[in-house]
Amino acid sequence: MSFKNWTLEHDGEGITWVTLNRPEASANTLASSVMDELSDVLDVLDEIKPRGVVFRSGKSAGFIAGADIEEFKGMDIPKGRALIKRGWDLFNRLAAVKYPTLALIRGHCMGGGLELALACRYRIVVDEPGTRLALPEVKLGIVPGWGGMLRLPRLVGPAVALDMMLTGRTVDARRAKKIGLADACVPPRVMTQAAKSLVVSGQSAYRPPLAQRLQNGLLRGFVAKQAIKSVAQKANPIHYPAPYAIIEMWRNYAGNSLEVPAHLTTSLDAVLSSTTTANLVRVFFLQERLKSFGKVEAGAAAKFDPQHVHVIGAGVMGGDIAAWCALRGLRVTLQDQSVERIAPAIVRAQKTFERSLREPRLVRQALDRLIPDAHGDGVIQADVIIEAIFENLEAKQTLFADLEQRAKPTAILASNTSSLKLGDIAKGLRAPERLVGIHFFNPVAQMQLVEVVKGAATLAEHVERAAVFVRKLDKLPLPVADAPGFLVNAVLAPYLEEAMRCVDEGIAPELVDRAATDFGMPMGPIELADTVGLDIAAKVGTQLVSGPNGSQPGATPPQRLSELLAAGHLGRKSGQGYYRYVDGKPQKSSVAEAAEDLSKLTERLIHPMLAAAQALVAAGVVSDADAADAGVIFGTGFAPFRGGPLHYLARR
């Protein structure tokens, strides 16, 4: 029996296989039409009274990606409440059916997809790298209102459930089994048989240990207070109301968001009407746009499937770029002047692999893909060659002249330069149109954005191929023009310099940082400069910043910065910068705690960033204001709840 989105197949053992496969969509989402049909599917199942039902996906991409976010655009309170009520009622109905139900989860299972799985009696996860489960609604400024706040805490305990819901963090297949979210974790070859066996087994639904059940009962208030305390360290309730709403809805309303009185700041109405929600939904679509830059539909770039990457320069950036490529499954050769220079990068890579992969077998496989290559033999086989040596124009020109002769004609020649012009680097090449910028940010493993730079001579095809490569690394490509600092550094530099000028005027670094974090920045500019390295900040600033009050390049650098550099204080990496560091943590005075109104200081700090973003759009460094907003959010951490610098500027 088939609907538009769902198919029901009855096997000879009394099991009904319910398959979701949205036509003309790359991933399954629970759009209104899908949910309406699910109600009809349940009607049919109630009539036939199957021995067991297995829900599965007809998409290779995964199980269910969640709700259809397109339906969130321009949503008002009545529409939002109606959407929540439909899902809440429908999944409660699924949870109450008499026949056993099972969700067979392979690939991503997010948001409403996980809420559907939670409404089933059993869950089986397939042990593959792509299997990830999460309730990430908080990242959109909303709450998991289709039963997630009710069923996840009951299943895995409130501590684990709240951590997942308040952060949006994903869990892999093995972790899902360990915490009780899944009844079984199986390899792909046996998943069908495992589902058939479990759904008709008569096995009782999983029941968590007594300690977790107590946390859902007598200890509920204590757990909620601890959760609020933890969230308060990371999210201001004025800026991000959704995490606090999730805690309140779980603690006092059994996860039913519809029951919270509308006048409360933690109500569904308050969440739906929040500008934060609208802006975080906007950020979701900005992220999707960045992803689209790496999805080329036609031409040579569409067929580009790089397998071998050669990285030159085993310093922090080059070594970490190489490690990330190996982590994402690519074969990588890492070149530097000697094996001894490459060794520290391999040590860092092993630690990265151990944190990310956890399983020794997978760590060994990733290390096997990362090959020290002091002589540069990997150049001739590489599909992508990335230069990440020190910022010296002559050295880069000499290197690329040699690479051009040795590399495959189809290989991408890329520079990770952060401040030099691509056109200048390409001057010594016979075919300057081959050179493209692929600019990663530090730390590579954490920063999602990668700027893809088109020089004056670069062919569009090479930019497209570079963007395809970036998406293969699960990063977000942003096409930018070849201008000093491109987008991100050109926006950050005047912001950092203005902060340092404030310190020169006698304003405490703690107050400067507090003014920025009050605005919503993840880290204050002074601490950020210390983290980047004051030597690097000074070099980039000299190249990119015009100086105080719009003066020309070459203006006197910030006085305190010069003093610190002269004393050898480079920031966090040397243990001393604007702050002193103990175990990598800045030692700050309590002066910021007594501050009340820092709005004027905040305005002063943010203004150069907004002005720079405007100027870069006007100059064509990025295509439009939305692209600039996306780049600044994902490249600098600009407060996401404000929707991007130019969006914020247009609405304040």
The residues annotated with a catalytic role in the active site are: 418, 439, 451, 489
The dihedral sign for the CA sequence 4, 10, 14, 18: negative
Instruction: Please give the sequence-ordered ranges of beta strands (E in DSSP) within 231-280, or none if there are none.
Output: none
Q: Which residue has tokens 């409440």?
A: 81
Residue 3 to residues 39, 83, 226, Cα–Cα distance (Å): 11, 21, 46
Q: Are 415 and 425 in contact (CB under 8 A)?
A: yes
* 384 φ, ψ (degrees, to nearest 5): -135, 130
The residue type of 407 is A
Rounded Cα distance between 57 and 22, Å, is 9
CB atoms under 10 Å from CB of 79, counted, come to 13
Q: Are 60 and 99 in contact (CB under 8 A)?
A: no
Token reading at 56: 């599965």
Rounded Cα distance between 438 and 559, Å, is 33
Rounded Cα distance between 118 and 150, Å, is 10
Rounded Cα distance between 277 and 281, Å, is 6
Q: Are 452 and 478 in contact (CB under 8 A)?
A: yes
Give the DSSP letter string of 11-34. Answer: -TTSEEEEEE--TT-SS--B-HHH
Rounded Cα distance between 596 and 515, Å, is 10
Beta-carbon contacts of residue 468 (< 8 Å; ≥ 6 apart): 294, 295, 296, 301, 302, 304, 306
Q: Which long-range contacts (CB under 8 A, 24 or more apart) does 16-20 make?
A: 16/45, 16/48, 16/50, 16/52, 16/53, 16/54, 17/53, 17/54, 17/56, 18/45, 18/53, 18/54, 18/55, 18/56, 19/56, 19/57, 19/58, 20/55, 20/56, 20/57, 20/58, 20/59, 20/64
15-20/6-10 β-pairing? antiparallel
Rounded Cα distance between 74 and 63, Å, is 27
449-454/435-439 β-pairing? antiparallel
Beta-carbon contacts of residue 97 (< 8 Å; ≥ 6 apart): 42, 45, 46, 53
Chain centroid to Cα 259, Å, comes to: 32
